[in-house]
Structure 1
């Protein structure tokens, strides 16, 4: 007997039940996998390669920069090489390989760290030099204070007190471009005095790695070779000034010979209060760290950066942002480093 065909309406119900079955694989109604999330939706990652954390000043930079980057919704990974060139390059390579969006570097050696810039560019990562210039590289941006102006401020302050006499120059690390800029600023002011015969530079030496112990050794040599015939000292920063003043104290001369420094380190401003250091130059590093954080995040987003200045690094004229430093002595300590909260009144006056 011939089988009767099922009614069309019954076939429709059967097909509907099959389609709704949870065991049925239905590629056609599976949600399609969308494209990967765009880079902009991921947290921006900034790499921060630092020369050292062995000085008070750089501990502040690290903390302020981290805080500024995170306030902008980005992440930051920080390494410090503590004066080891090979280690700094290795650490920077780790940051590059980890895929940071922008690399920020405080170079120990202005020449050696050109290799870091080159390697970052091969990975498509832009590089910002933080406070210290990287020489002979295609650096993307340099943000610092006007370090030549810092040297000018030091020399002006000391020549106002000692317009004639024997001067000692205790420089920073020869490997640091900032040390050269500082000295350039110092001699820009001193040159007319030297040419007139009013000032004699009787000792001029670089300080390896900026360390107080090396500055102290330099100053001891200056005292020995000049038979203590020294009228003024210009030290490259407050750490080196500390080494200088320690050597002067050993000879009973601390407070008698004017000494200039820079960075407004706590120990430096305490020495100003005590009278053993004449002046320092305050570089509001909260301004520096916030500016670099803002620029780094903007670069990571692909935004255009308008840097108003250019600084030659031996290869190119690097787009630069240079902030203005402030000379500080006993008369304006309260209205500068204390008012800004850089140091507290209790710390400065050791109350």
Structure 2
């Protein structure tokens, strides 16, 4: 079995051998080769993130070398080593595990290749920038909207079921903590449900059990809209149109449901195509040797039935593209 030291040594050797190649021509940042190691393509969000990055790279005349780790940490480290060997000018990483990519970060640094993380941050190592959104703020926005709706409906002491994302994930923890902060002191109580891995089918199964054990539920909050819609399916099948639903991500289906009226009361926008676009812009800046912010926030906004018509949602996810980088 390879130790971390062995992995580091092999990665660093490959990195140092092509270090000059990696930085050659980067100062002009024209026609770059940008590597992108994606955690998975099993999520519609990550498919759209890839689409946005590809479109932005093409528009800039760059080449995007995209590799899918398919949720495998070892494959992701091997993929990043491959990108280093190819002499890319910058590497974008959406990490499978925030700690396990540390050897790859060190190897990229040894090669002089800037690394930009997207959506999921890492816990250590040299990274030029992280591009994402403030998931804690997103959870809090949705929580505040839920509290406001309950107050408007005259409901006190409501039981809120929370369907969670992935165990130990940074996004999960932020969306949980932000929502909890908004609910705290409101008189309502949160019952934490299982981790459904952001997958609708898992949320359907979870909600079937949760509803049996919590018939007095008044609100279901899920860490993404896909799970929230799965929970809503179960509630409707059981004639529970009285239960409020809230999610995160701005899935267009959620906005359509909200616009039609009924129980879907809040989501926070998380346009993945724009996230991909911004990440390519940051990668180009870093490859040119320019200083980039440690955290680039691609922006969010709360959507409720009152403002749902303000946000275009013809694509899979609603569009929200504030100008956050200087042109």
* TM-score tier after normalising by the smaller chain length: 0.7 to 0.9
Structure 2 unpaired stretches of 5+: 1-20, 320-327
For 1:70-219, list aligned pairs within 5 A.
70-163=58-151, 164=156, 165-193=158-186, 198-208=187-197, 210-219=198-207
Partners of 1:114 and 1:207 lie apart in 2 by 27
Partners of 1:178 and 1:60 lie apart in 2 by 18
Residue aligning to 1:279: 266
Partners of 1:343 and 1:288 lie apart in 2 by 12
Q: TM-score, normalised by structure 1?
A: 0.75
Partners of 1:300 and 1:135 lie apart in 2 by 22
Partners of 1:283 and 1:202 lie apart in 2 by 25
Partners of 1:122 and 1:338 lie apart in 2 by 43
1:82 to 1:239, Cα distance in 2 relative to 1, 3 A: farther
Deviation at 1:301, TM superposition (A): 1.6
1:211 to 1:203, Cα distance in 2 relative to 1, 3 A: same
Residue aligning to 2:323: none
For 1:1-351, list aligned pairs within 5 A.
39-40=25-26, 43-163=31-151, 164=156, 165-193=158-186, 198-208=187-197, 210-226=198-214, 228-253=215-240, 255-274=241-260, 275-305=262-292, 307=293, 319-338=294-313
Contact 2:77 2:104 in 1 (8 A): yes
Q: How many residues align?
A: 290
Render the CA deviation track for 1:25-61: whole Å, top value 9, x for unaligned. Answer: xxxxxxxxxxx99524773111111122223222222
| Other structure's SS at 2:41 match | coil
Structure 1 unpaired stretches of 5+: 1-35, 308-318, 345-351
Render the CA deviation track for 1:191-231: whole Å, top value 9, x for unaligned. Answer: 112xxxx21223343333x22222223222321222x1101
Greater relative contact order (Cα < 8 A, sep 6+):
2
Contact 2:108 2:114 in 1 (8 A): yes
